[in-house]
Structure 1
Amino acid sequence: MAIYNTSRLNYLWAAWFGLSIPVILLIDALPHYPSHLYLQPSSPLHPFHLLRQQYLLETNDPISQWSFSSSIPGSHDSWIGLFMYFEFFFSLPVVLYGFYRLALARGTTGPQELLYLLYALETAFTTLICIHDVFYWDPAVYSPEIKRKMVVQYLGPWVLVPSIMAIDMARRILGRIKLADEVMEEREREEKERTQRRKVQ
């Protein structure tokens, strides 16, 4: 029988997963959809295209503008493509699953906590690499203000919140391990007591 952890932080993680779903599906993945879905003003996803264009106009973010077709051989930016695979084929399924499970308000199980820990570590680590990359952007193109805004406003939360999630999930998992150890120790004590009673008899 599964033991559920009903921490109040589950509401925060449900909200985070809920926020991540449209960000991934409607912002990050948008350029990979057929153009007729977002380019024309009458297209269903056009408002998100305008939002993305406004962001790119404001920041000229080279990471968000990268694509497999525009990648220049020898430019050493192929890591961005790897991160896209992580986002679409790992992060997206996890946030969809996590939002669904946490919306049921039953709490988290051990396997779920391990999955969320892996997601949190992956998200924080890959975003931290993006932040590191920002500091190497051409200063002739990107002002200190733009770099600061990228780090603090756009990328920072994707390191901070998953880091807190990772700590929370690690704490929960360690609590389960400690409880399991205590149960095993109790069983060993009971077994020793039974063995001693048999010897006395």
Structure 2
Amino acid sequence: MATYTNTWRNKAWMGWFLMQVPLIFFMDLLEFIWPAWAYEPVGAPLHAAYSVKQWYIQKYSDPIVQWSPETATGHDSWMGLFLYLEAFFLLPTVLYGVYRLVVQRRGTSATDELLFLVYALEVAFTTLICIYDTFYWDNAVYSAELKREMQLQLYGPWFLIPSIGAIDMASRILARVKAADAALGAKKSE
């Protein structure tokens, strides 16, 4: 029988997952999962999301957000892999997290904690790669101030929050391992 961990930290995870759903569907994967007629023309159902993304691109000229297979220059081919990871691992994990923590409200099982640990590590690591990539953006196009803003204010939270989440899930798993070891030790000493 599975045991579930209910803690105030589950509410933070709920908030994170609920925030991720629209960001993944309507920003990160907008052009990859929706047909152009659904977002490009004025009056289209998703045009507001498209407008926000275009505003972000115009303001920051972020090459990572503008990436497409057609615009790839070779050094940034990893971005395609990140989009596949987002579509086929992150999105299902986020939807499962919403189901588990918001709909079921049962807490996390050991299996959930392992899944959420891998999820948090993947988000933190891929974001760290994006932060690292900003150091190599053309200085003639991207000022040092803009790079710092991208690194600390825009990408930084997407590295820091999942890193804290990974520590949370690792500590939960470690607590389960210690409890299992203690139970096994007590059983052997009988």
TM-score (norm 2): 0.96
| Correspondence 1:72-151 to 2 at 5 A | 72=73, 75-103=74-102, 104-151=104-151
Larger Rg: 1
In the TM superposition, residue 70 of structure 1 has moved relative to its aligned partner by 2.3
Cα distance between partner residues in 1 of 2:109 and 2:54: 40
In the TM superposition, residue 105 of structure 1 has moved relative to its aligned partner by 2.1
Cα distance between partner residues in 2 of 1:145 and 1:30: 28
In the TM superposition, residue 132 of structure 1 has moved relative to its aligned partner by 0.3
Aligned counterpart, 1:197: none
Secondary structure, aligned partner of 1:87 = helix
Cα distance between partner residues in 2 of 1:23 and 1:145: 26
Equivalent position amino acid for 1:39 in 2: E
Cα distance between partner residues in 1 of 2:91 and 2:76: 22
Secondary structure, aligned partner of 1:43 = coil
Equivalenced residue count is 188
Deviations 1:84-113 (A, max 9, x none): 111111011001100110113211100000
In the TM superposition, residue 185 of structure 1 has moved relative to its aligned partner by 0.8
Equivalent position amino acid for 1:106 in 2: R
Secondary structure, aligned partner of 1:41 = coil
Aligned counterpart, 1:195: none
Cα distance between partner residues in 1 of 2:136 and 2:119: 27
Q: Percent identity?
A: 52
Aligned counterpart, 1:196: none
Cα distance between partner residues in 2 of 1:83 and 1:10: 26
Aligned counterpart, 1:154: 154
Cα distance between partner residues in 2 of 1:155 and 1:100: 27
Cα distance between partner residues in 2 of 1:142 and 1:155: 15
Larger mean CA deviation between 109-118 and 138-147 belongs to 138-147
Secondary structure, aligned partner of 1:70 = coil
In the TM superposition, residue 145 of structure 1 has moved relative to its aligned partner by 2.0
Cα distance between partner residues in 1 of 2:158 and 2:98: 17
Equivalent position amino acid for 1:95 in 2: V
In the TM superposition, residue 144 of structure 1 has moved relative to its aligned partner by 1.6
Matched, 1:58 2:48: no
Mind listing any 5+ residue stretches in structure 2 that lack a counterpart? none
In the TM superposition, residue 59 of structure 1 has moved relative to its aligned partner by 0.5
Cα distance between partner residues in 1 of 2:145 and 2:60: 10
In the TM superposition, residue 148 of structure 1 has moved relative to its aligned partner by 1.5
Aligned counterpart, 1:193: none
Aligned counterpart, 1:71: 72
In the TM superposition, residue 149 of structure 1 has moved relative to its aligned partner by 1.6
